[in-house]
Amino acid sequence: MHLRPILTIALFTLREAIQNRLISLVLAALISLFGLAEFIGEVAITESAETKLSILSSALRFFAVLVTSLFVTMSMLREQHEKSLDLVLSLPISRASYFFGRLLGFSGVTIVVAALIGLCLLLYSPSQRVGPWVLSLACELFIVANVSIVCLFTFRQATLALSSVFGFYVLARTIGSIQLIGHGPLADPSAPSQRLISGVIDTLALLLPDLDRYTSSQWLIYGAPQGSDLVSIIGQTTIYLTLLIGVGLFDLYRKNF
């Protein structure tokens, strides 16, 4: 595996993002959501800055996830339809080089998206709080981009792939709360159906990253997270990316083009 083809593929991916007007879309969304946040701030009778910041940052986080998953899925799908993937793989480039090139390119795109959002949030919150938030958002987007690649390799259809990505994301964001309900006082642990459901939930929780701990709007309002929280997020991201890269490469190598 050589570095040069990886960098070339990554560069083409970044160029594709610019040609698809992804940056323009992010800027347009930023302006629209900032307008909405200002309106919401006017409605609040107290803590208007905190209310604006909380709602704006959550909306931007969901937007970033949505736009990343859409861009990655549509880009990979177009490549399949135009047979450019077949063309690339017919060259003396290993499948792993192609995979890492695409992954590097998509990661670059997510960093740009996260940085643009972070720059705009600096209007409302100091850099000491925005910095960790942006870092965490970038980690979250790396995972989403990688899951989108894996889902498209597996299903080879936009509808199925995007539904799976959003399902994964919602589950990863809520699995902690679902687990609490499953083991709460209202659940009867002696009932077989309850034990089965709890077992399924616990198994899912083992397989999913706890995105619930990522990119909290509370960091922007009340103060940056502890260093250990950030280390935990970076650790979880590294481990999950390793898993996803393994799954993606496994799927790519077993496919016949």
Applying CB under 8 A, which residues contact another protein? 40, 43-47, 50-51, 54-55, 57-58, 61-62, 170, 173-174, 176-178, 180-181, 184, 211-214, 216-218, 221-222
Q: Please identify, using beta-carbon distances, which residue of 131 and 176 lies nearer to another protein.
A: 176
Q: Please identify, using beta-carbon distances, which residue of 43 and 91 lies nearer to another protein.
A: 43
Instruction: Write the Ramachandran bin of 83: left for phi over 0, alpha for psi from -120 to 50, otherwise beta.
Output: left
Tokens of 138: 């970038």
In whole angstroms, the minimum distance from the beta carbon of 51 to another protein comes to 5
In whole angstroms, the minimum distance from the beta carbon of 58 to another protein comes to 4
Tokens of 54: 């909380």
Q: Please identify, using beta-carbon distances, which residue of 44 and 160 lies nearer to another protein.
A: 44
- H or E element in which residue 238 lies: helix 227-254
In whole angstroms, the minimum distance from the beta carbon of 84 to another protein comes to 34
Q: Please identify, using beta-carbon distances, which residue of 221 and 230 lies nearer to another protein.
A: 221
In whole angstroms, the minimum distance from the beta carbon of 231 to another protein comes to 19
Q: Please identify, using beta-carbon distances, which residue of 24 and 177 lies nearer to another protein.
A: 177
In our burial notation (b when 16+ CB lie closer than 10 A, e otherwise), range 102-126 reads bbbbbbebbebbbebbbebbeebbe
> Whose CA is closest to 145, among 111, 115, 95, 183?
111
Instruction: Write the Ramachandran bin of 242: left for phi over 0, alpha for psi from -120 to 50, otherwise beta.
Output: alpha
In whole angstroms, the minimum distance from the beta carbon of 4 to another protein comes to 40
Q: Please identify, using beta-carbon distances, which residue of 102 and 173 lies nearer to another protein.
A: 173
94 in Cβ contact with 88 (< 8 Å): no
C-alpha distances (whole Å) from 152 to each of 70, 125, 158, 172, 216 are 11, 37, 7, 19, 28
In whole angstroms, the minimum distance from the beta carbon of 174 to another protein comes to 5
Tokens of 7: 């960098």
Q: What is the DSSP string of 116-129?
A: HHHHHHTTTS-HHH
**Residue 47, SS3?**
coil
In whole angstroms, the minimum distance from the beta carbon of 85 to another protein comes to 34
Q: Please identify, using beta-carbon distances, which residue of 39 and 250 lies nearer to another protein.
A: 39
Tokens of 185: 């006082």
